[in-house]
Amino acid sequence: MTFVKPAFRHPDAPLNELGRSRQDYEGGLSTLCAGCGHDSVSAAIIDACFELNIEPHKVAKLSGIGCSSKTPAYFLSGSHSFNSVHGRMPSVATGANLANRDLIYIGISGDGDTASIGLGQFAHVVRRNLNMTYIVENNGCYGLTKGQDSATMDTGSPNKKGDINMYSPIDLARLAIEIGATFVGRSFSGDKQQLIPLIKAAISHRGFALLDVVSPCVTFNNHSESTKSYEYMRGANTDMPVDFVPMRQEITATYDSGATCEVCMHDGSVVRLYKQDNDYDIEDRQSALEATNHYAKEGKILTGLLYIQRDSEELHDVLGTARRPLNSMTEQQLCPGPRFLDSINAGLR
């Protein structure tokens, strides 16, 4: 690394319950383009983990390939990280989670990594309800190879060269809801107020949590006609503000009950959503699909917590694996020893 972050720490920097400052959750200096939406997402992850009092070493960061997948180097330097191969992060995360269910798994991917080369693995990690947070930094293009269209690019949206995309887009949030995801949120890298609580809720969710975050590519896909630009998002974003109240904290504020929806999560935390539409039931798949569809037809992008299933069986529940992490099992627990082999041999004669 050519650049080194200054080690200076403000003496009055606030500390969290673990006695760690926000800086303890930072990573290396970003090498992404100035203004890249992905850096805002990294910052939101840092804030979320700091505020949730997560011990950095209890987090495992995983990614695939692309601009987005570089970002785990830019947050939580105290965590182990695995930058795997293109589109294959879900499988590596699955194996890692099987080995040690006690860590927090945060996967970072992009729209190329997830919606094209990795669509297969993405679909199957959703199906398996792996206990992880999966963040797609969605900018509609391939940044690292200089701006080719990705599969999430909207029909009719032009790329930087002016070519209009005529293919149908893949909406990852809708797809995830369809195939059984138990937590699906959509957000915008420019909306920190919404993104941080959403990340906190996603981390607290027991099971697979997808956050599809529109994160503009300032270099290749931020022109005014693009539907993944800052400008477009600011106009089209129909946001449902989100609050996250961690477990054990008292809920103090009161809100207009009509449009507010509170969901008590598995660990006792509460996620609160301020809906645009009162009929929308975020615990109903069909309702969630209809709501996103309704806004899409109006040229709007609905953001917030789109769908949640509070109680679900994550992969370990389905498999019936031991509560103790598999990677902590000892030789005595695992190896049957020579005497059992004698009985095997005897049965084969």
Partner 1 sequence: MQAKQSVNDFVIKFANVNGTGSASANSMFAKAIFRMGIPVSPRNIFPSNIQGMPTWYEVRVSQDGYLGRRGGIDIMVCVNPQSIKRDVAEVESGGYFIYDSTKPLDLRLIREDVNYFGIPFTDICLREYTDARQRLLFKNVIYVGALSALLNIDFNVLKDLVADQFKGKEKLITPNIYALELGYQYAVTHFECPIGIHLERGHKLAKHIEDFDNILMDGNTAAALGAVYAGATVAAWYPITPSTSVVDAFDKYCRRLRIDPGTGKKNYAIIQAEDELSALGMVIGANWNGARAFTATSGPGVSLMSEFLGLAYFAEVPTVLIDVQRAGPSTGMPTRTQQSDVLMAAYASHGDTKHVLLFPATPAECFSMTVEAFDLAERLQTPIIIMSDLDLGMNEWMSPPLEFDGDFKYDRGKVLSAADLDGMEERFGRYKDVDGDGITYRTYPGVHPDKGAYFTRGTSRDEYAAYTEDGDEYVRNMDRLLRKFETAKSLVPEPKIKQSEMETRYGAVFFGTTASPAYEAIEILEKEGIDLDTLRIRSFPFNHEVEQFIREHDRIFVIEQNRDGQMRRLLLNETSVPAKEKLIPILEYNGLPVTARKIAGMIRNYVTHGNVTPLTRRSATEEISA
**What is the C-alpha radius of gyration for the chain, rounded to an integer number of angstroms?**
21
Question: What's the min distance (Å) between Cβ of 348 and partner 1?
Answer: 4
Question: What's the min distance (Å) between Cβ of 32 and partner 1?
Answer: 13
| Residue 77 binding partner 1, by CB under 8 A | yes
Among positions 43-72, residues that touch partner 1 (CB under 8 A) are 55-58, 60, 62, 72
Instruction: Return the range that interacts with partner 1 (CB under 8 A); candidates 85-93, 178-186, 263-271, 276-284.
Output: 85-93
Rounded Cα gap, residues 16 and 165, in angstroms: 46
| Residue 299 binding partner 1, by CB under 8 A | no
| Residue 120 binding partner 1, by CB under 8 A | yes
Give the contacts of 123 (CB within 8 A, at least 6 positions apart): 175, 179
| Residue 33 binding partner 1, by CB under 8 A | no
Length reported for the chain: 349
- Lay out the site mask for partner 1 across 313-342 (x = CB under 8 A, - = otherwise): ---x--xxxxx-xxx-x-x-xxxxxx-xx-
Between the alpha carbon of residue 277 and those of residues 287, 295, 302, the distances in Å are 11, 11, 11
Q: With b meaning 16 or more CB within 10 Å and e meaning fewer, what string describes 132-146?
A: bbbbbbbbbbbbbee
| Residue 5 binding partner 1, by CB under 8 A | no
| Residue 85 binding partner 1, by CB under 8 A | yes
Question: What's the min distance (Å) between Cβ of 261 and partner 1?
Answer: 34
| Residue 41 binding partner 1, by CB under 8 A | no
Question: What's the min distance (Å) between Cβ of 329 and partner 1?
Answer: 6
Q: Kindly report each contact of residues 274-278 with a partner whose C-beta sits within 8 Å and lies 24 or more positions away, as own/partner.
A: 274/240, 274/241, 274/242, 274/304, 275/240, 275/304, 276/238, 276/240, 276/302
Q: Residues binding partner 1: what is the number (CB under 8 A)?
A: 61
CB atoms within 10 A of CB 78: 14
Candidate list 16, 21, 81, 276; residue touching partner 1; CB under 8 A = 81
Of 137, 124, 128, the C-alpha closest to 67 is 137
Bridge partner residues of 168 (DSSP) = none
| Residue 103 binding partner 1, by CB under 8 A | yes
Rounded Cα gap, residues 292 and 212, in angstroms: 13
Give the CA dihedral 305, 133, 113, 5, nearest 10 degrees. Answer: 110
Question: What's the min distance (Å) between Cβ of 204 and partner 1?
Answer: 19
Binding residues vs partner 1 (CB under 8 A): 1, 28, 55-58, 60, 62, 72-73, 77-85, 88, 90-100, 102-103, 120-121, 123-124, 128, 316, 319-323, 325-327, 329, 331, 333-338, 340-341, 344-345, 348-349
